[in-house]
Amino acid sequence: MDRREFLGGSAALAGATAFPAIARAQDAELSFFYPVAVGGPITKLIDAYAAGFEKENPSIKLKPIYAGTYQETIVKALTAHKSGTPPVTSVLLSTDMFTLIDEEAIVPFDDFIKTEDDKKWLAGFYPGFMENSQTGGKTWGIPFQRSTIVLYWNKELFKEAGLDPEKPPQTWAEHLAFAQKLTKRDASGNVTQWGTQIPSSGFPYWLFQALTTEADAILMNPTGDTTYYDKPGVVEALQYWVDLAQKYKVHPPGIVEWGTTPKDFFEKKVAMIWTTTGNLTNVRTNARFPFGVAMLPANKRRGSPTGGGNFYISKKATPAQQQAAFKFIKWITQPERAAQWSIDTGYVGVSKAAYETEAMKKYVAEFPPAAVARDQLEFAVAELSTHENQRVTKALNDGLQAALTGTKTPQKAMEDAQAEAERILKAYR
C-alpha cells in the first residue's frame, strides 16, 4: 500500500480521535481533534493509541488535539469543511448524521464495502447502534465510542437506609421510594445527601430520553423530520423528573451539572445517579465504596437511548485518503480493539464479537457491571436525531431547563419546544 494512503486512517487514529486536520503527504504530520466530554483519563488512552499507531507506521507523526465537547467539535468540523480543509475522518455524535449529510460533509461507507470480510465486519455491529448510523438504505457512520445510560448506586448508603444493597430500584415508583429513604437532612432541614440525581446540563435531552422511553413515548420519527415533544407520555416523563426535585425533594433542585455528577457520587452527596456507561471505568477507579450498576428503572417499559460517537469520512478528502480512513476505521473497530477500548473506558463494545474475545470474557467474569449496558441494548432506542439537529435539540433542552427551574409547567414547556421544533423542521417534509 502507498504510504500516503495511511494518512486518513492515521489521522483518525487512536481509539477515539475525532478530527484530523489536513495531512501533508510529504512529512505525514497529522493533527486530529477528539471530543473529550466524559470523565476519566481518556486523553492518556488516546495518546497511547497514537503512540501505538506511530510505532506500526513510523513515517506518520500524530498530534492529538482535545477539542472540548462534542458540540464544540461538530462546529469545528463543519467550519473546517466550509473553509475547504476538513478532517479526513472524525468521531462525532451519532446524532450528527443528518446534519453532516445535509451539509454534504461526509460520504457513505457502502462504497468501501467490497470483500466478504468487509460485509461481515459491517454486519457485526449491534443493530441498536446502527439505528443512528444508517438512513435511506445507506451507512453513514461506524459505531465506535457508544454508550447507554445506566443507574449507579452506593451499596453502603443503601444498607444504612435499610435497603437491600444488592437490589436496585426496578420501577419509577421504587426509584422514588428508595430516593425518599436515601435523602438525608440535618436538624435545620438542609439536605446533606440526595437520594437520586439525573444531570440536566450538557446532554439534558439524552437523560430525558431515558425517561420518555420508559414512559413508552418516542421523540422523533426515523427520517428525522418530525418530533413529538408535546405527546402525553413525554409530558408525563418530564413531570416525573420535575416532581423528584420540586414535589418530593429527593433530587437537587434546578439544573444538575453533567460533569460534577460522578464527583457528587464519589463524595457521597448522592446515593443514586443516572449517567453514561462511559463513566464506568471512572466510577470503578474513584468510588471508595462498593457500588452497583443496573439497567434504568422501568415505567411502562424498560429503556435507554443509545449515545456516543461514530466515525465519519469526509466527502472533501481525496479517494486515497478516504480509502485509508476506511482501512483505519475497520482496524480500530476489530473485536480485540473494541473489547480493550470498552475495558479501558466503560463504553459498550460495539459488536457481539467484542464480547466473545478472551479479554472481554475475563473482564465481565471479574466485573459483571461491564455487561449491564450491553444487556440493556435489547431495550434501547435510537438517540434523538433530526435534520438541523443542534437547533431541534436545543428547543427541547430549553424546554427541559424551563420546567426543571420552575419557570414553566412541563405541559407548557413541551408545547413550546414542539412549536419551535415544528417551525425548524417543516421545510424538510
199 or 53, greater pLDDT: 199
Q: In terms of Cα–Cα distance, which of 172, 149, 173, 174 is closest to 164?
A: 174
Q: Based on the domain organization, do 236 and 326 belong to the same domain?
A: no
Quote the pTM value.
0.86
Q: Based on the domain organization, do 99 and 157 belong to the same domain?
A: no
Q: Based on the domain organization, do 77 and 226 belong to the same domain?
A: no
pLDDT, tens only, 293-345: 999 999 999 999 999 999 999 999 888 778 878 878 888 899 998 999 999 98
pLDDT, tens only, 201-212: 988 999 999 999
Q: Based on the domain organization, do 293 and 312 belong to the same domain?
A: no
Q: Residue 291 and residue 166: Cα distance in Å, rounded? A: 9
Q: What percent of the chain has pLDDT over 70?
A: 90
Half-sphere exposure of 240 (CA within 13 A, CB side): 28
Question: Looking at residue 216, which CATH number applies to its domain?
Answer: 3.40.190.10
Q: Based on the domain organization, do 220 and 311 belong to the same domain?
A: no
pLDDT, tens only, 102-140: 999 999 999 999 999 999 999 999 999 999 999 999 999
410 CB-near residues (< 8 Å, 6+ apart): 235, 238, 239, 242, 403
pLDDT, residue 28, reads 37
Residue 194, beta-bridge partner list: 270
Q: How many domains does the chain have?
A: 2
Q: In terms of Cα–Cα distance, which of 264, 269, 278, 301 is closest to 370?
A: 278
pLDDT, tens only, 395-415: 999 999 999 999 999 999 999
pLDDT, residue 25, reads 39
The parent domain of residue 232 ranges over 149-305+386-428
Is the Cβ–Cβ distance between 281 and 344 less than 8 Å? yes
CA–CA distances in Å: residue 202 to residues 28, 235, 338, 383, 421? 36, 21, 26, 15, 19
Judge whether residue 199 has pLDDT over 50. Answer: yes
